[in-house]
Structure 1
Amino acid sequence: MRSPRLNSTLSGLLVFLAAGLLFSLYFKGLMWEPNLHAPTFGGDGLTIHYNLQYHTTYGEGVYLESQYFPHHESIFMTDAQALVAVVMAGLKPVFPDIGQYATGISNTLIFWSSPLAVLFLFFIFRRMGVRWPLAFLFGCVIAMMSPQILRQLGGQYTLGFTFLLPMVAWYQLAYEKGKRYWLKSLAVTLMIILIGLNNPYLYAVASALLMGAAGVGILFKITGLVRLPWNQLLQWVAVCLVATFAIAATLAAFDQVEDRVEVPFGFFHNIAAWGGMLTDANTFSYDFLRRVLPDLDTPRRENQMYLGLIPVLLGLALPFILLLPKARKIVGLTQVPTLLVLLVGTLPCLILGFGLPFVYFEDWTYDNLGSLLQFRAPVRFSWPLFYLLAIVAGYVLHQLYEHWSGTKKVWLLAIPLLIWGIDAHQFLAGHTTGKAGPSAFTPTSIQEKSDLADELRIDTSSFSCIYLLPTEQGWSDKIHQDGSWRSNHDGYKLSIATGLPLLNGKLSRVGLNRVLRSLQVVSHSLIEKPALGELPAGKDILLLASNENELDPHEARLLGTGKPLFSNEKVELRRVSPAALLARTQDARKVARQDTSALATPLLRIPFEENTQHAFFGQGAEKVAPGWTTFPLPALQDSTLTDSLELSLWVFADKSRFGGPKFYLRQLDSEGKRISELKFWTNETFDTQNGWLRVAFSFKPDPLLSKLELVGQYEFPYFIDELWLRNARTNVRLAGKNGTLIYNNYIIKEAG
């Protein structure tokens, strides 16, 4: 019996509402009480919601001012729900309290996109002649297993618009001659631009699907395999080109950062993996497949892109089906040639998802791909394969059902659909269980911070900004100081409650210079702190320190300079004057310049003057080759073996590559055996001066020590300068050319 016919508008509304009810069983309060819940209570999601709510409440235009005060960053280059934040900030004159609902609006857009994805998938199946009950069921199980859901739940909200790729696939399948397809092209172009400005990744993935399918379609047309209309193929290309131009022009117009790390971390790390595509730890098939395929790699966070058991099995059978004329006729893929083109068109996307062919040419890739490497998770380009393979699987099951008769066809459909449904339920339930917690930024929680701020007289008239401790200069690809959950959680809320921006922070694609200047606030007192001179005169810095975390001595010294305002078991608040911090630094440098007891030379000094491309002190530095390098150190004199020693050197903060070298200081005995080893990663330093990062080891020589060994390791070339070994209790000052002075391996007087 044929299923009853439904009005397209009514059926679409029913599908959307039914899918919304289904997903709300898993997402719970995220859909029905979106302003009170969040899928993550920390990490990326907390920072993204903070940036969104701060900009909505206090910002305007396209520049985000919540972090690294007094600088700002193009919001389109951040993960702050860029376009959503800009639009909501623009609505403040009409809705003054809209900032209180920023998290709820974000959650609504993100988590209600899954029912919208079901709707587009439903339209796709209906267009291909699939009965509407099956079209709905297929749409649900596919949307429930979307790899983008993992990004929603992981706090990368702007990647969570799950309807975009089904919408693009529907557009590609819905070709018809005449004006209506041009209107569809225009609408899809506009949607890709809007969502692409919110997160350029989704533009890139959607464009990959468009261009991959267009390329395959043109190739098939030339070879005569499948003849899609030129108008259809060229419109796909046009949509991609127009969206590319609009997004690239917008990003370039507002981006003011000139010293961003050129090659960020992740391009060869966040790639597709068969283990992530064929298995998911929450599903019933996981253990079995792991036993059958023991060499499968374990899915990590980014490369989890489970295709589903039924799509994988049908995908494996598909080449054989297409080679057998009778089977090919039964499944009827030739009746929907565009679907076949789209499926094959995802293969270039999959190849890129595996990082191919670039994984075989890493150095060339780093040297030549430039800003394209800002797309640091190629695995996301594999997402189109998930959708298209699942759509083909659903269509094939429908065709088999239509071909067979009697109870055979019922079982032929019911068993795979049951397995698929169980797979989808276990996947979504496993990943959503325990995820929906209270939002950190509800009006009630922000009001609590407002009351505390009022009680302590913390406002923008007396304070300029907040500095979080432990300090955070995260996501910069060069400095790895991620703060703590407590300082983030309470600091972000206090920032929203008061309007005070952060002096430090976590921003994607931030400029390296402003990160280093922010870090200098906690650097050694001999290091100048120009960021403090940029702050408004007469206003203090509010220090917010987590009492749940141990502070580094650098951070503790900064906190100790402040005047206590408030303290409990969670956080401590103090105020400090930028002018007082600057005066403290100038006094320390003056004392160092006048220190008459300072020695003229350390126990060991290697000035490294060979390469004049960069220099910390003097005329040059040493360029170190990639890999493991052992730096020869002379044997220590017996007189130094009882002293506390410091070995220090400087590493250039090179913005051409992510990360930095790791150093290992080893104490060796007379036979060359290792007694002890200390490790220092330059990205975790607290001392930065003139664009260089200080590496320092403080240690007590072991009685059996015969020789020190310093080893450096980094996958790229790097520059080092001024290696010193000195008695930790003895000050050393050296004079350089043009009046420069260096004291305990800190520059205390610049040239001239």
Structure 2
Amino acid sequence: MGPWAAALGGLAWLLWLGGARAIPPTRLDWAMREDWAGTTFGWLFYRNAPWGLPLTRSPNQLFPHGTSVALTDANPLLAVLFKLFNPLLPADFQYHGLWLALGFALMGWFGAKLVSVVSPRPTHQWLGGLLFAMAPPLAARLGHLLLCAHWMLVAMMWLHLRDTPDARAAKRSLLWAAALNAVAASTHPYLVAMLAPLAMALTVRLALGRVITWGRALLASAGFVVLDLLLFALFGYFAGGSLGAEGFGQFSADLTTLFNPTDWSRLLPSLPVARRQGEGFGYVGAGALLLGVLAVAGAALRFRSLRDVPWKRGLPFAVAVLLLAVYALSSRVTWTGRLVVDLGGLYEPFSRLTSAFRASGRFIWPLCYAVMGGALLLWLRQWRERAWVGTAVLALVVAVQAYDLRQDKSELRRRPDGFRRLQAPEWAALKGHYRHLALFPPQVQWVCPYNEPLVNAAGYLAYRLGLTFNSGYASRTPPSIAEECNATMRPGGVDADTVYVVVRPQVGAFVRAGARCGVLEGLAVCVAGQREDAFAQALTRQPLR
């Protein structure tokens, strides 16, 4: 019952962080801001897209360039799954809240499974799973929904440390690792970039334990890489041009990250970090830090109780985690935000890789959970003959962890800014008469000037009417989009199948190009001058000339 209780505890913690309004799948308003809006529209436009290859291609978003669910961070795996049932789903439907609920529950579950390596007691497993579910790095990622899947890292740690006595058990572990890689590759590339090295380290651990041969270990490692690349291609990660972006060396982890709460703690003071180092947030929590101190102190006093610990079992995992942590520090290693050493020359030959994984600070997460898991296992191992001591301290640690974390910092507790739905009855006349809705000039996050409320309102309208849309959010975009940010209307450039929502300074150019323009719900809207349909006629009620 330990893992089940821990899973329920993880779900309860999400609710405490404000998840109650996100879980109901028919609620959209909470998700219509910032990165959440990008993931939501990535799914909504994919619902209207035809099936094709790559499997998650979405040609009607960022039209005419198109994009994919993968490049809008909209969870390719769940998008494909729910698209199969698209006719049965209501128009307002999102699965991101369900993904969060699953992530927090599985964090508790696999935290409990990890504790089961040293303790069969359900109470220990429940408390240990709760400690993992309360990890501050998980709560801090609520602004980026797909990356709230830290349970995969804890699950991989469990595979490394659990007993694997023979080839049959080794095969099961490798299949588990392959499944985790497959889910990660179908979800987000940063998860794969962490899981793949840990999976390869697992093959080394099994080969060192002589339960598989080195040849099989090499074959399994190659298999993980091939599996990940095939799924990347299938789900459309390579569909958006260059995968690189600026920021490597800035989106990093500081050397103080494990004990620096950066305003997330009620108990510990915050230390300074550089402006963009929030991506490297790795504070493990006051409870976990307390447990670590007690475990290390106890190990020094009760060393004999640890003589039979199979330390070699965790060595490949530890090496992989430390290497990932070194990458998390990036080319600019800092202490409290101040440069300690510049490794730019070392990383320069690998600039294509580092630009693709520019937010290197995220790679500190495996070390965070290794520290938490190591403290848990070390403590319980010391007191396995006096289980009540382990229970009492774990209960105290979980209480400290829960009190320490500032729930008001949760993105889910932020008051929503409000989502505007365009509701004028005239909009309904677009359906069946027009094919495209376009902002002019286009507005693409991080590329062009971006009015988020306008983009969200127009994007939702385009989705409900089954139209293409030329604006929005994607993590990677073709370079040609940037050339359209300051577009101007040319004579004869008004497309008859497109409805344009135009910034006011451009209205005159549309009128001179022969367009019919008017005001609808406070927006300047233009269509081709030759259009005589009901929507075009509606624009004459408040004409713009």
Shared fold (TM-score greater than 0.5)? yes
Corresponding residue number in structure 1 for 2:358: 376
**Could you tell me which amino acid in structure 1 is paired with residue 470 of structure 2?**
L
Q: Answer yes or no: is 1:309 the counterpart of 2:286.
A: yes
For residue 504 of structure 1, the aligned residue among 457, 471, 480 is: 471
Q: How does 1:72-83 map to 2 (within 5 A)?
A: 72-83=66-77
**Could you tell me which amino acid in structure 2 is paired with residue 286 of structure 1?**
L
Q: Which moved more, 1:264-273 or 1:366-375?
A: 366-375
What is the CA–CA distance in structure 1 between the aligned matches of 2:489 and 2:498, rounded to whole Å?
A: 19
CA deviation after TM superposition for structure 1 residue 283, in Å: 1.3
Corresponding residue number in structure 1 for 2:536: none
Corresponding residue number in structure 2 for 1:67: 61
Are the equivalent residues in 1 in contact too, given 2:203–2:217 (CA < 8 A)? yes
Task: Encode CA deviations 1:350-381: one digit per residue, 9 max, x unaligned.
Answer: 11111159984536745544245211211121
Task: Encode CA deviations 1:625-677: one digit per residue, 9 max, x unaligned.
Answer: xxxxxxxxxxxxxxxxxxxxxxxxxxxxxxxxxxxxxxxxxxxxxxxxxxxxx
Are the equivalent residues in 2 in contact too, given 1:482–1:506 (CA < 8 A)? no
Give the TM-score of the pair, scaled to structure 2: 0.81
CA deviation after TM superposition for structure 1 residue 389, in Å: 1.0
Corresponding residue number in structure 2 for 1:44: 35
What is the CA–CA distance in structure 1 between the aligned matches of 2:260 and 2:508, rounded to whole Å?
A: 46
Corresponding residue number in structure 2 for 1:390: 372
For residue 169 of structure 1, the aligned residue among 138, 153, 157 is: 157
For residue 130 of structure 2, the aligned residue among 126, 140, 153 is: 140
CA deviation after TM superposition for structure 1 residue 383, in Å: 0.9
Corresponding residue number in structure 2 for 1:577: 528
Residues 210, 56 of structure 1: CA spacing in aligned structure 2 closer, same or farther, 3 A cutoff?
same
SS in 2 for 1:203: helix
Corresponding residue number in structure 2 for 1:459: 430
Corresponding residue number in structure 2 for 1:626: none
Q: Answer yes or no: is 1:267 the counterpart of 2:238.
A: no
**Could you tell me which amino acid in structure 2 is paired with residue 91 of structure 1?**
F
Task: Encode CA deviations 1:302-338: one digit per residue, 9 max, x unaligned.
Answer: 122212235446657878877x5x6433356724642
CA deviation after TM superposition for structure 1 residue 242, in Å: 2.1
CA deviation after TM superposition for structure 1 residue 20, in Å: 2.6
What is the CA–CA distance in structure 2 between the aligned matches of 1:297 and 1:333, rounded to whole Å?
A: 44
CA deviation after TM superposition for structure 1 residue 178, in Å: 3.5
Q: How does 1:703-742 map to 2 (within 5 A)?
A: none
For residue 513 of structure 1, the aligned residue among 480, 486, 495 is: 480
Corresponding residue number in structure 1 for 2:168: 179
- Normalized per residue, which structure has more strand? 1
Are the equivalent residues in 1 in contact too, given 2:438–2:470 (CA < 8 A)? yes
Q: Which moved more, 1:69-78 or 1:250-259?
A: 250-259
- Give the aligned CA root-mean-square deviation in angstroms: 3.9
Q: Answer yes or no: is 1:127 the counterpart of 2:117.
A: yes
Q: Answer yes or no: is 1:54 the counterpart of 2:45.
A: yes
Q: How does 1:328-347 map to 2 (within 5 A)?
A: 328-331=303-306, 334-335=309-310, 337-339=312-314, 341-347=316-322
Are the equivalent residues in 1 in contact too, given 2:38–2:472 (CA < 8 A)? no
Q: How does 1:648-667 map to 2 (within 5 A)?
A: none
For residue 260 of structure 2, the aligned residue among 270, 279, 283 is: 279
Corresponding residue number in structure 2 for 1:541: 499
CA deviation after TM superposition for structure 1 residue 55, in Å: 0.8
For residue 25 of structure 1, the aligned residue among 5, 16, 25 is: 16
What is the CA–CA distance in structure 2 between the aligned matches of 1:382 and 1:18, rounded to whole Å?
A: 25
Corresponding residue number in structure 1 for 2:232: 251
**Could you tell me which amino acid in structure 2 is paired with residue 398 of structure 1?**
L
CA deviation after TM superposition for structure 1 residue 201, in Å: 1.2
Structure 1 residues without counterparts, runs of 5 or longer: 1-9, 222-226, 546-550, 581-752
SS in 2 for 1:52: helix
Are the equivalent residues in 1 in contact too, given 2:113–2:158 (CA < 8 A)? yes
Are the equivalent residues in 2 in contact too, given 1:565–1:574 (CA < 8 A)? yes
Q: How does 1:598-637 map to 2 (within 5 A)?
A: none
Q: How does 1:646-685 map to 2 (within 5 A)?
A: none
Are the equivalent residues in 2 in contact too, given 1:39–1:436 (CA < 8 A)? no
Residues 284, 555 of structure 1: CA spacing in aligned structure 2 closer, same or farther, 3 A cutoff?
farther
Structure 2 residues without counterparts, runs of 5 or longer: 334-340, 532-545
Are the equivalent residues in 1 in contact too, given 2:61–2:470 (CA < 8 A)? yes
Q: Answer yes or no: is 1:229 the counterpart of 2:210.
A: yes
**Could you tell me which amino acid in structure 1 is paired with residue 85 of structure 2?**
L
For residue 523 of structure 1, the aligned residue among 480, 487, 500 is: 487
What is the CA–CA distance in structure 2 between the aligned matches of 1:109 and 1:256, rounded to whole Å?
A: 20
What is the CA–CA distance in structure 1 between the aligned matches of 2:179 and 2:24, rounded to whole Å?
A: 30
SS in 2 for 1:542: strand
Are the equivalent residues in 2 in contact too, given 1:214–1:345 (CA < 8 A)? no
Task: Encode CA deviations 1:105-138: one digit per residue, 9 max, x unaligned.
Answer: 2210222221111111111111222522122111
Corresponding residue number in structure 2 for 1:351: 326
CA deviation after TM superposition for structure 1 residue 285, in Å: 3.0
Are the equivalent residues in 2 in contact too, given 1:257–1:511 (CA < 8 A)? no
Residues 200, 18 of structure 1: CA spacing in aligned structure 2 closer, same or farther, 3 A cutoff?
same
What is the CA–CA distance in structure 2 between the aligned matches of 1:29 and 1:492, rounded to whole Å?
A: 26
CA deviation after TM superposition for structure 1 residue 196, in Å: 1.3
What is the CA–CA distance in structure 1 between the aligned matches of 2:302 and 2:215, rounded to whole Å?
A: 32
**Could you tell me which amino acid in structure 2 is paired with residue 246 of structure 1?**
L
SS in 2 for 1:543: strand
CA deviation after TM superposition for structure 1 residue 18, in Å: 4.3
CA deviation after TM superposition for structure 1 residue 70, in Å: 2.4
Are the equivalent residues in 2 in contact too, given 1:81–1:158 (CA < 8 A)? yes
CA deviation after TM superposition for structure 1 residue 69, in Å: 1.2
What is the CA–CA distance in structure 2 between the aligned matches of 1:38 and 1:124, rounded to whole Å?
A: 37
Corresponding residue number in structure 2 for 1:590: none
What is the CA–CA distance in structure 2 between the aligned matches of 1:178 and 1:578, rounded to whole Å?
A: 74
SS in 2 for 1:286: coil
What is the CA–CA distance in structure 1 between the aligned matches of 2:353 and 2:510, rounded to whole Å?
A: 37
What is the CA–CA distance in structure 2 between the aligned matches of 1:186 and 1:415, rounded to whole Å?
A: 35
What is the CA–CA distance in structure 1 between the aligned matches of 2:50 and 2:413, rounded to whole Å?
A: 30
Residues 268, 260 of structure 1: CA spacing in aligned structure 2 closer, same or farther, 3 A cutoff?
farther
SS in 1 for 2:186: helix
CA deviation after TM superposition for structure 1 residue 192, in Å: 1.7
Task: Encode CA deviations 1:181-228: one digit per residue, 9 max, x unaligned.
Answer: 31342243133213312211111111232345666x59xx9xxxxx53
What is the CA–CA distance in structure 2 between the aligned matches of 1:270 and 1:486, rounded to whole Å?
A: 27
Corresponding residue number in structure 2 for 1:432: 410
CA deviation after TM superposition for structure 1 residue 431, in Å: 2.9
What is the CA–CA distance in structure 1 between the aligned matches of 2:329 and 2:350, rounded to whole Å?
A: 19
Give the share of equivalent positions with the same residue, in percent: 16
CA deviation after TM superposition for structure 1 residue 49, in Å: 0.5
Q: How many residues align?
A: 518
What is the CA–CA distance in structure 1 between the aligned matches of 2:201 and 2:296, rounded to whole Å?
A: 20
Are the equivalent residues in 2 in contact too, given 1:260–1:511 (CA < 8 A)? yes
**Larger Rg computed on CA atoms:** 1
SS in 2 for 1:266: coil
**Could you tell me which amino acid in structure 2 is paired with residue 387 of structure 1?**
Y
CA deviation after TM superposition for structure 1 residue 272, in Å: 0.8
Task: Encode CA deviations 1:386-441: one digit per residue, 9 max, x unaligned.
Answer: 11111111122223444669xxx74x864574244323444262333763667989
Are the equivalent residues in 2 in contact too, given 1:491–1:544 (CA < 8 A)? no
Residues 102, 544 of structure 1: CA spacing in aligned structure 2 closer, same or farther, 3 A cutoff?
farther
Are the equivalent residues in 2 in contact too, given 1:279–1:285 (CA < 8 A)? no
Are the equivalent residues in 1 in contact too, given 2:67–2:240 (CA < 8 A)? no
What is the CA–CA distance in structure 2 between the aligned matches of 1:32 and 1:252, rounded to whole Å?
A: 30
